[in-house]
């Protein structure tokens, strides 16, 4: 049994037959930059083939699960859109690897899951969220298409009408609201989050490993078909929006707002 690899911005640890993957950039609310994006691909591939685990938990360090895309990285895409096109291939790998993993993947939302962070959480098999957490995909609020997986998974969980409402407005939902409409499984008091996740993982680990894996595999067949149909056009449309004036204007406004707040 090989030891979990070391990463710069991710932490992998085992608890018995459970493997925890922690997004570990708490000072930036676990926002995705170039390094963490690439590392997550490798971490998920390791998890898929890890002979030392049967359940995977995906979570974040600090106050957030993940704030989504890092503003500095977004500005790099704006300056050189080909950078986005190259990184988009990793986005597809993340989506398909999550859907291909036979082991149950549990999302532990210790805080906000936004944009790509929300997509990651929603592609997991079962989602537990602390009641203070918020979740949403605000790509449109920065002039971008929700092409990196949001348009794939939201309609499958809450239907087309609701998915379009939230994806076209970028509105964030509270954990309770998300649970009520079936976007996530459970919204629980923050003090109970670890116990609820632990108990569910123990239940899975006490079950029939192969039957659980193959049941997930069958359920995911349709999700994988949909993902293969939508990811390429979704990324293509997002790539167009990266090059748009709407996006440039939104990024300038974000940077100005940050400067204003720093100026006091």
- Domain range summary for the chain, segments of one domain joined by +: 10-263
Residue 81 has pLDDT above 70, yes or no: yes
pLDDT at site 264: 62
pLDDT at site 79: 87
User: Are residues 60 and 120 in contact, defined by beta-carbon separation less than 8 angstroms?
Assistant: no
**Rounded mean pLDDT of 102-119?**
98
Query: From CA 146, how far away is CA 124, in angstroms rounded?
Result: 18
Residue 223 has pLDDT above 70, yes or no: yes
**Rounded mean pLDDT of 128-136?**
98
Query: Which CATH entry fits the domain spanning 10-263: 3.40.50.300, 3.40.50.720, 2.40.110.10, 3.90.226.10?
Result: 3.90.226.10
Q: Give percent of the chain with pLDDT exceeding 90.
A: 86
For 166-191, what is each residue's pLDDT tens digit?
A: 999 999 999 999 999 999 999 999 99
pLDDT at site 119: 97
Residue 209 has pLDDT above 90, yes or no: yes
Query: From CA 129, how far away is CA 127, in angstroms rounded?
Result: 6
Query: From CA 226, how far away is CA 230, in angstroms rounded?
Result: 6
**Rounded mean pLDDT of 16-41?**
96
**Rounded mean pLDDT of 91-117?**
97
Give the predicted TM-score (pTM) of the model.
Answer: 0.96
Q: Which of 106, 121, 125, 234 is nearest to 178 (CA)?
A: 121
**Rounded mean pLDDT of 106-118?**
98
83 Cβ contact partners less than 8 Å away, ≥ 6 residues apart? 76, 77
Residue 1 has pLDDT above 80, yes or no: no
Confidence band for 151, pLDDT divided at 50, 70 and 90:
very high
CA atoms within 13 A on the CB side of 94: 25
Q: Which residue has the higher pLDDT, 96 or 78?
A: 96
pLDDT at site 37: 92
């Amino acid at each position: 049994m090989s030891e979990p690899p070391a990463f710069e911005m991710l932490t992998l640890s085992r608890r018995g037959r459970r493997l925890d993957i922690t997004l570990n950039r708490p000072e930036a609310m676990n926002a995705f930059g170039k390094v963490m994006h690439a590392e997550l691909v490798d971490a998920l591939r390791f998890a898929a083939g890890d002979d030392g685990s049967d359940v995977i938990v995906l979570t974040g360090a600090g106050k957030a699960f993940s704030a989504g895309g890092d503003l500095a990285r977004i500005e790099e895409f704006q300056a050189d859109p080909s950078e986005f096109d190259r990184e988009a291939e990793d986005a597809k790998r993340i989506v398909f690897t999550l859907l291909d993993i036979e082991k149950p993947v549990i999302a532990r939302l210790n805080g906000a899951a936004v944009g790509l962070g929300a997509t990651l959480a929603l592609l997991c098999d079962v989602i537990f969220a602390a009641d203070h957490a918020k979740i949403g995909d605000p790509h449109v609020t920065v002039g971008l298409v929700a092409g990196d997986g949001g348009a794939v998974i939201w309609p499958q969980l809450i239907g087309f009408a609701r998915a379009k409402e939230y994806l076209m407005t970028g509105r964030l939902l509270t954990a309770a609201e998300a649970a009520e409409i079936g976007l996530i499984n459970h919204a629980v008091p923050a003090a109970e989050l670890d116990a609820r996740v632990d108990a569910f993982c123990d239940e899975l680990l006490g079950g029939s490993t192969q039957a659980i894996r193959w049941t997930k595999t069958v359920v995911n067949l349709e999700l994988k078909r949909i993902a293969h149909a939508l990811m390429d056009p979704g990324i293509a449309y997002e790539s167009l929006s990266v090059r748009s004036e709407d996006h440039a204007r939104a990024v300038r406004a974000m940077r100005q707002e940050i400067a204003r707040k720093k100026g006091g």
